[in-house]
Amino acid sequence: MHPDFHPAIDCPVCVQPMTPLAVGRIVVDVCHDGCGGVWFDHFELQKLDEQHETEGDLLAHVGKHPDIARDPVVRLNCPRCADVVLRQHFFCANRKVEVDSCPACGGYWLDHGELGRIRAEFDTAAARALATEEFVRDLDNLHVKEACSRALDKAAQSRSLSAMFRLVGSRYV
């Protein structure tokens, strides 16, 4: 996919169009005033430069409808890849934060509640780095067990994840 091409997607929870939101140099997709979830494309996250990007406060820009919530039992389909089911992962440090990722395109889905939890749990650069490391290790184990249609480079996944953490940001920024 061309890096500047950002086709519209539907929310995997609400099945309604998501709103593209520019955060710095990248675009994420927000289910604004729906479930409040956010989709992070792998190719967008790869644009963030580790050293030079500041943290964001994405949560401040995402509204959630009070009556809409995701059914935690229902597995989500990737909004980019037809017929690919997202995989749910916990962070092993405390298992409080759960993200969904697509084994095909490497995108990430965060529920609205996870945005707040990530901000609360990983509010320092060190905490985010540790969580990223553990997450990537877990992904390795998953990849052994489950055949991936297109295995993604581990370093790229790690970059994506730390970029996502920085976008979710910290209230102390």
Q: Is 35 in the site for Zn ion (CB under 5 A)?
A: yes
Residues 46-75 that bind Zn ion (CB under 5 A): none
Cβ count within 10 A of residue 71: 8
Q: Is 104 in the site for Zn ion (CB under 5 A)?
A: yes
| Residue 74 or 126 having the CB closest to Zn ion | 74
Distance of closest approach, residue 93 Cβ to Zn ion, in angstroms: 26
Q: Is 13 in the site for Zn ion (CB under 5 A)?
A: yes
Among 23, 26, 28, 31, binds Zn ion (CB under 5 A): 31
For residues 16 and 12, what is the distance between their CA atoms, to the nearest angstrom? 8
Distances (CA, A) of 67 to 110, 139, 143, 148: 18, 33, 36, 36
Using CB under 5 A as the criterion, which residues of the chain lie in contact with Zn ion when the complex forms?
A: 11, 13-14, 31, 34-35, 78, 80-81, 102, 104-105
